[in-house]
Amino acid sequence: SDVSIILHPDYRIGTVDRRIFGSFVEHLGRCVYTGIYEPGHATADAHGFRRDVADLTRELGVTVVRYPGGNFVSNYVWEDAVGPVEHRKPFLDLAWRTVEPNTIGTDEFLQYCEREGLEPMMAVNLGTRGVDAAAALVEYCNGQAGTRWADLRIANGREEPYGVTLWCLGNEMDGPWQIGHKDAHTYGRLAADAGKAMKLVDPTIELVACGSSSMYMDTFGEWERTVLSYTYDIVDHISMHAYYEELNGDRASFLGSATAMDRFVERVVASADAVGAQKRSDKRITLSFDEWNVWYLESRFGDATDLPIQRDAPRIIEDRYSGLDAVVVGDLMATLLNHADRIAVGCLAQLVNVIAPIMTEPGGDAWRQTTFHPFATTAHLARGEALQLKVDAPTFATERHGGVPAVTAAATVDPDTGALALFVTNRTDAEQTVTLRHPGARAHLEGGRAVLADHDGARETQKAAEAYGMVDALPITHGDGTITLTLAPESWTAFHGS
Ligand code: AHR
């Protein structure tokens, strides 16, 4: 065969941070209202949250949930969405031009996370607001009794601090579409000041500075360098956002998306480490890949400024996914694993209805999209240490990314149980035979499960999406120090073993 993978359980990249299996809930469209929350729904719990959606979230294996935005956060007044619900006033969110009823706010969301065993990742508004509101929100969430904002939380019925660890210093502040967007110097200074104040309220928190909103921004690289030159000592992570789509029928480039993601990670690491080098700092900034997914942004969505003003949880960005999209999502997840030494947080954007693995109908069903399967499988199987594989595969040419490997792979081993997991993507339209060599180490794989690209119907109806699932991988054979795998055309396969 043309493809070979060498695997040794002792050659490791780093420990997989469970926080890379995160997702994202924004006040956007139907992610919150009729997504996670729908009082009166047949499955609603005592708090009005949909049990069917919470059960699917658990099955998906989500660890962290970023909240409340996204672009939304950049004009959000969090104080208006705490306290008695009957006193809260609707507000006009300018990011999505939607009337936000403020029924769900910080307390409702954080208590939902607690009940469901999810770790919240909060974002503060550095678009229209600043140091004051950011530090006050940290105090509201994490402060002890005896000061103004902590006491407000207690007056609102919550005695115990929530202990929120992860905090984003704004969202996509380089984007011209962002409410209150800033140049790198202005944002860098503000993020450093807000971050300092937030850590003075609670020194145990971890801070994420905004990186570029995409690798394709003109300011990419220079933005990271400038922002980190102000914030290096105060922040822990820098954010990355990336969305991939098939443009103009260019299937090859779309199938190579994870190579673009891989290069994006390497470039942000290089930019961050360059700042560290100049500062002669031993500290390493880690990555918060807090928005990633397939999103038909250019080809189907366009521009939020074209949206009419809407109310009552409008349908916005409700992408439906194909089998091909699922294969790409699997490959993107493997890329996160292959950077386990630097990626601390990852968030599939978003969780429900909005570019999401879970869909709902108001008053009706909740169901899995195609992309649910590779995420759930990876979150379930990838445990412990990410392995440094050596993958040798031919490359093929793409218009957007140049040459990309035909086959990619990632693997993990759990030091406690010895469980091995291997994730392999075949980006070509031909079957591929892969020789997996494990010299000097024992390795046994069970039959794998795969997602296949050839199910475009899954995009069309709920029924077709529900019929889409993982299939048994093609048979594998064990030899002496080798395992031979056969990969279906355009597929993503997960194997587990020991
Ligand atoms: O996830 C949808 C949007 O994409 C988010 O609000 C924004 O941060 C990004 O541009």
**Of all atoms in ligand 1, which is nearest to the CA of residue 172?**
8
Q: Which residues approach ligand 1 with their CB closer than 6 A?
A: 26, 69-71, 171-172, 213, 291, 349-350
Measured by CA distance, the residue closest to atom 6 of ligand 1 is 70
**Of all atoms in ligand 1, which is nearest to the CA of residue 171?**
8
Measured by CA distance, the residue closest to atom 2 of ligand 1 is 70
Q: What is the pLDDT of residue 299?
A: 84
Q: How far apart are CA 383 and CA 498, in angstroms?
A: 12
Query: Looking at the domain 17-382, which fold is it?
Result: TIM Barrel (3.20.20)
Q: What is the pLDDT of residue 455?
A: 67
Which numeric CATH code is attached to 4-8+388-497?
2.60.40.1180
Q: Report how far ligand 1's centroid is from the alpha carbon of 478 (Å).
A: 45
Q: Report how far ligand 1's centroid is from the alpha carbon of 70 (Å).
A: 5
Pocket test for ligand 1, best of 24, 244, 291 (most atoms within 8 A of CB): 291
Q: Report how far ligand 1's centroid is from the alpha carbon of 475 (Å).
A: 41
Q: Name the packing angle between helices 106-116 and 51-60 (round to 10°).
A: 60
Q: Report how far ligand 1's centroid is from the alpha carbon of 27 (Å).
A: 11
pLDDT tens-digit series, residues 237-254? 999 999 999 999 999 999
Residue among 33, 36, 27 nearest 58 (CA): 36
Pocket test for ligand 1, best of 30, 67, 71, 355 (most atoms within 8 A of CB): 71
Q: Which residues of the chain have pLDDT under 70?
A: 1, 455-456
Q: Report how far ligand 1's centroid is from the alpha carbon of 13 (Å).
A: 30
* Catalytic residue annotation: 172, 291
ipTM (interface predicted TM): 0.99
Q: Report how far ligand 1's centroid is from the alpha carbon of 201 (Å).
A: 28
Measured by CA distance, the residue closest to atom 9 of ligand 1 is 70
Measured by CA distance, the residue closest to atom 3 of ligand 1 is 70
pTM: 0.98
Q: What is the pLDDT of residue 441?
A: 87
Contacting residues for 26 by C-beta, under 8 A, at least 6 apart: 32, 67, 68, 69, 70, 71, 72, 73, 349, 350, 354
Q: How far apart are CA 317 and CA 121, in angstroms?
A: 22
**Of all atoms in ligand 1, which is nearest to the CA of residue 243?**
4
Omega of the bond prior to 350 within 30 degrees of 0, cis? yes
Contacting residues for 270 by C-beta, under 8 A, at least 6 apart: none
Q: Report how far ligand 1's centroid is from the alpha carbon of 71 (Å).
A: 6
Measured by CA distance, the residue closest to atom 1 of ligand 1 is 349
Spans of all domains in the chain: 4-8+388-497, 17-382
Pocket test for ligand 1, best of 26, 288, 297 (most atoms within 8 A of CB): 26
Q: Facing residues of 402 across strands? A: 398
SS (H, E, C) the chain: CCEEEECCCCCEEEECCHHHHEEECCCCCCCCECCCECCCCCCECCCCEEHHHHHHHHHHCCCEEEECCCHHHHHCCHHHHCCCHHHCCCEEECCCCEEECCCCCHHHHHHHHHHHCCEEEEEECCCCCCHHHHHHHHHHHHCCCCCHHHHHHHHCCCCCCCCCCEEEECCCCCCCCCCCCCCHHHHHHHHHHHHHHHHHHCCCCEEEECCCCCCCCCCCCHHHHHHHHHHCCCCCEEEEEEEECCCCCCHHHHHCHHHHHHHHHHHHHHHHHHHHHHCCCCCCCEEEEEEEEECCHHHHHCCHHHCCCECCCCCCCCCCCCHHHHHHHHHHHHHHHCCCCCEEEEEECCCECCCCCEEECCCCCEEECCCHHHHHHHHHHCCCEEECCEEECCEEEECCCEEEECEEEEEEECCCCCCEEEEEEECCCCCEEEEEECCCCCCCECCCEEEECCCHHHHCCHHHHHHCCCEECCCCEECCCEEEEEECCCEEEEEEEC
Q: What is the pLDDT of residue 277?
A: 98
